[in-house]
Amino acid sequence: MLLPQLAIVIPCYNEEQVLPLTYPLFADKLKQLQDKGLVSKSSYLLFVDDGSSDQTWQLICDYAVADEQVRALRQSRNRGHQNTVLAGLLESIDVCDITISIDADGQDDLDAMDEMVSAYLDGADVVYGVRNDRSTDSFFKRFTAESFYRVLNAMGVQAVFNHADYRLISARVLKEFANFKEVNLFLRGMVPLVGFKSTSVYYSRAPRLAGESHYPFSKMLSLAIDGITSLSVKPLRFVTGLGLAVSFLAFLLLAWIITVFFLGKTIPGWASMTAIVAFMSGIQLLSLGIIGEYVGKIYLESKGRPRYIISERVGMLPPVSSEGAK
């Protein structure tokens, strides 16, 4: 049986502090997978630089010159983590049998790759890396992260609980995934939509080896909003249900007002009226905001702009067609 060719896709953004620590770990893991006979000798590391402003790209180029199993892409500007992962995946479609995407910070357990590849050899086309605990996180980080997944699932997004972007994907899944043309990306929710046989491997996540996290609470919140509004219409249905509920309450209130008017028990007062007006104004603004999110997504999708643009390639990585990059 021919061994699968693997590309380990590693998105990077301002990682000059951590790459000197994690690159040797990635290289060693790739060699271990090859020595165990799990992947072919032609497998490689694919670093994708997201328009870093520090020395990240120079470090990657140095690794590519010194190690023939390192390839590199550089985006023309910063486009965000999801677009960077997508760039690495789509550029590997016609080159590799499988890809494994993993962050550059060294937090994800590299040994889980052995289980991922073994699961692929057993017939799985998608293997999710799932955290089995969050003991290394602060209470706030743990609470917000777990709430993030619960909200996504409640809103109808098919995201795997406690799974980020550490996953194995086969080439045939990637070829189908390339037909998804969304500009607003949420890979954690999009990959399950492709289907095919999938499974999960579980691991403990370590603290970041160096540098600072690029996913503070504000970015996590933004990612959640993008994921929900890109993959679910439940918020719009919530607005509809809220409108019906408020209309029903307004009808009951109107009936009560008419009743007390004819009974001669009306008492003039501005407090209740002010409260009602404020409540209704809040409901209207909330509804407009939710609808506006969807209108904005439609506006961006209608432009059909490329989801990534590669400015430099190192390691003779062949480009994909321009259609596949959109």
Nearest alpha carbon to residue 170 among 91, 99, 90: 99
Residue 73 CA from chain centroid, whole number: 20
> Each residue of 267-306: pLDDT tens digit?
665 556 655 666 666 677 677 777 777 777 776 667 667 7
Q: How confident is the model at residue 321 (pLDDT cuts 50, 70, 90)?
A: very low
How does pLDDT run across 132-155, given as a tens digit for each residue? Answer: 876 666 666 677 767 777 777 777
pLDDT per position as a tens digit, 199-232? 988 888 776 666 566 666 666 677 667 667 666 6
Where along the chain do its domains lie? 6-215+306-314, 234-303
Instruction: Tell me the residue type at 199.
Output: T
In one-letter notation, the amino acid at residue 326 is: K
CATH 3.90.550.10 at 6-215+306-314, yes or no: yes
pLDDT at site 273: 66
Q: Which of 169, 92, 98, 157 is nearest to 129 (CA)?
A: 169
Given a cut of 80, whether residue 102 has pLDDT beyond it is yes
Q: Are 128 and 116 in contact (CB under 8 A)?
A: no
- Summarize pLDDT for 301-319 with one digit per residue, the tens: 676 677 788 888 887 555 4
User: To 10 degrees, what angle do helices 234-262 and 270-303 make?
Assistant: 160
Alpha-carbon distance values, 146 to 88, 131, 254, 305 (Å): 27, 11, 43, 33
* Nearest Cα residue to 243 out of 293, 283, 274, 209: 283
